[in-house]
Amino acid sequence: MDMKGIILTRSGLEKAEKELEFLRVVKKKEIAERIKEARLFGDLTENAEYDEAKNAQAENEFQIEKLERIIKFATLVDDDDIPDDTVYIGTKVVVIDENTEETLTFEVVGALEADPFAHKISNSSPLGAGLIGKTVGDVAEIETPAGKVRYRIMEISRKGQ
């Protein structure tokens, strides 16, 4: 995984650090216990439980290494660098879809933190990229597979404000 260009907000970094701690402490211990129990079943050459536990161990180690690299190399968006009046990574933005008059709220985050179901959109997604740099009153035209969508920026705030 290329670590260049990975951007995290403070909350994204904290989430990654918590997940890393969980994988290192809790998950590692659970897997070690599974391996220990599977060894009790005897012959390891035909022991499906042992194979599954060893595969889980390898996957856990991979995830640990990946998170360590993300934490080490990611660019952190400092809360003090987030403007109050411009859409940027780490801001919440309220928009009105000018086609449907629907009001939507998004949080703009780095790609690794994106979660459309939680209304967290990536700064590199078409919507996120189209909103970045806009101020209240601006209109962002976003090209979608269904055609152009126009969003009017109604409100911008830092996350947590």
Please give the domain boundaries of the chain with CATH numbers for all domains. Answer: 7-77 (1.10.287.180), 79-158 (3.10.50.30)
pTM, full prediction: 0.74
pLDDT per residue, tens digit, the chain (161 aa), is: 455 578 888 888 999 999 999 999 999 999 999 999 888 877 767 778 888 999 999 999 999 999 999 999 998 888 777 888 999 999 999 999 998 999 999 999 998 899 999 999 999 999 999 999 999 999 999 998 888 999 999 999 986 54
Query: Which 8-state DSSP code applies to residue 112?
Result: G
Can you list the positions of beta strands (E) in 82-137? 91-97, 103-109, 120-122
- When computed from its CA atoms, the radius of gyration of the chain, rounded to whole angstroms, is 21
Residue type, 62: F
Which of these, 20, 16, 1, lies nearest to 113 by C-alpha position?
16
Number of Cβ within a 10 Å radius of residue 119: 11
